[in-house]
Amino acid sequence: METLNRIAGQGANGATMMPIIQGVGRAAIEIAAVLRGAVFRGVLGAQGTENVQGEQQQKLDVLSDEIFLDEMRSTGHVCAVGSEEQEDLLVIDEYTSADWLVLVDPLDGSSNLDICGPVGTIFSIVKRKTANSERPIESDTLQAGVDVVAAGYVLYGPSLMLVCSVGEGVDGFTYNPSNARFELSHPDIRIPQSGGYYSVNESNSAQWLHGMADRLVSVRHTQKLGMRYVGAMVADIHRTLLKGGVFLYPADSKNETGKLRLLYEAIPMGYLLEQAGGKAHTGDMPVLDVVPEALHQRVPVYLGSVAAVEGLIS
Ligand code: AHG
Ligand code: MN
Ligand code: MN
């Protein structure tokens, strides 16, 4: 069975990305173990602190962030990490001259933790713009999706999955506990171009801007979409990739720029969707064309099969 090593043979950057993606795999295994034992270790529930977005941090948000950062440090190839859980760029002092920066949502969908629902980790990797002799700075992370070199997610569900791309299509790997390897279970994922589901927090529909509620009614009829919503972007996107349809988090009158974060939610998922033959749009432009202005910037997102996304944005 092929393993994560398959990445090393893909495209111009596969071999270079390999150690960092293996680091993501190690972090995934550790985070999965922490999640499984959380209730016994007293690490479920709120940490009592807020992150930069003003959201209550869960203890597991903070723990996952620490595990991910440690594994990125251990690769020796990452000079800095931009994380949902850290206001500022986190420079890895031991490796300030390394080439790569990683953007991460260490634990996505953390409101699912209390109900033993699926959660995830989302990441993307960019090359620094500053010289290797300098200390990396926040503007090194502000790169459009078209300049991303690798991206992916981990899904903590009934199986532990790592889905990623280095720009040569999308592969899904499932952790095999009997040999402690991520094995290739879903080679070259292509999103179905018809059918599937629409996935959105529809309780916000009265506040959606740009007539989105009416557009969605029309698209779900013409595209014959069912409805599913987990409330964890990783799980909702994973279903969208495999079954088709569309995941959306539109702008609304409370959040005019949407809820999801450009650098560690929209761009990595947009990159994967496009690599799988789908479409990723903000309503104004392709997700991958947005030039980021800030580490924690938000954007509306429409991610999915081409026809479903086009029906919503046109
Ligand atoms: P996070 O837990 O990293 O803050 O992300 C939560 C996100 C995403 O996973 C999900 O799609 C969305 O928030 C759910 O938001 P609603 O509760 O507003 O539906
Ligand atoms: Mn998230
Ligand atoms: Mn998160």
pLDDT at position 238, please? 99
Q: Is 117 in the pocket of ligand 1 (CB under 6 A)?
A: no
Q: Is 65 in the pocket of ligand 1 (CB under 6 A)?
A: no
Instruction: Classify domain 197-313 by CATH architecture.
Output: 3-Layer(aba) Sandwich (3.40)
Q: Is 250 in the pocket of ligand 1 (CB under 6 A)?
A: no
Calpha distance 194→112 (Å, rounded)? 29
Helices 306-313 and 212-222: crossing angle, nearest 10°?
A: 150
Tokens 């309780």 appear where?
Answer: 203
Q: What are 198's two structure tokens?
A: 């629409």
Q: Residue 7 in contact with residue 17, Cβ under 8 Å? A: yes
CA of 242 to the centre of ligand 3 (A): 23
pLDDT at position 255, please? 92
Q: Where are the alpha helices (DSSP H) in the chain?
A: 14-36, 38-41, 59-75, 212-222, 233-243, 267-275, 306-313
Ligand closest to the CA atom of residue 83:
3
pLDDT at position 124, please? 98
Instruction: Tell me which H or E stretch contains 121.
Output: strand 119-127
> Helix/strand/coil (H, E, C) string of 232-248?
CHHHHHHHHHHHCEEEE
Closest CA to ligand 1's atom 2: 109
CA of 122 to the centre of ligand 2 (A): 8
CA of 234 to the centre of ligand 2 (A): 8
pLDDT by residue for the chain (314 residues), tens only, comes to: 899 999 999 999 999 999 999 999 999 999 999 999 999 999 998 888 888 888 888 999 999 999 999 999 999 999 999 999 999 999 999 999 999 999 999 999 999 999 999 999 999 999 999 999 999 999 999 999 999 999 999 999 999 999 999 999 999 999 999 999 999 999 999 999 999 999 999 999 999 999 999 999 999 999 999 999 999 999 999 999 999 999 999 999 999 999 999 999 999 999 999 999 999 999 999 999 999 999 999 999 999 999 999 999 98
Q: What are 97's two structure tokens?
A: 């001259």
Name the maximum alpha-carbon separation found in the chain: 56
Ligand closest to the CA atom of residue 53:
1
Contacts of 252 (CB under 8 A, 6+ apart): 204, 207, 208, 209, 258
Closest CA to ligand 1's atom 11: 233
pLDDT at position 53, please? 84
Domain-wise residue ranges, the chain: 4-186, 197-313
CA dihedral (245, 182, 128, 78) positive or negative: positive
Q: Is 231 in the pocket of ligand 1 (CB under 6 A)?
A: yes
User: Any idea which fold 4-186 has?
Assistant: Fructose-1,6-Bisphosphatase; Chain A, domain 1 (3.30.540)
Q: Is 71 in the pocket of ligand 1 (CB under 6 A)?
A: no
pLDDT at position 52, please? 86
Please state the pTM of the whole predicted model: 0.98
pLDDT at position 47, please? 86
pLDDT at position 251, please? 97
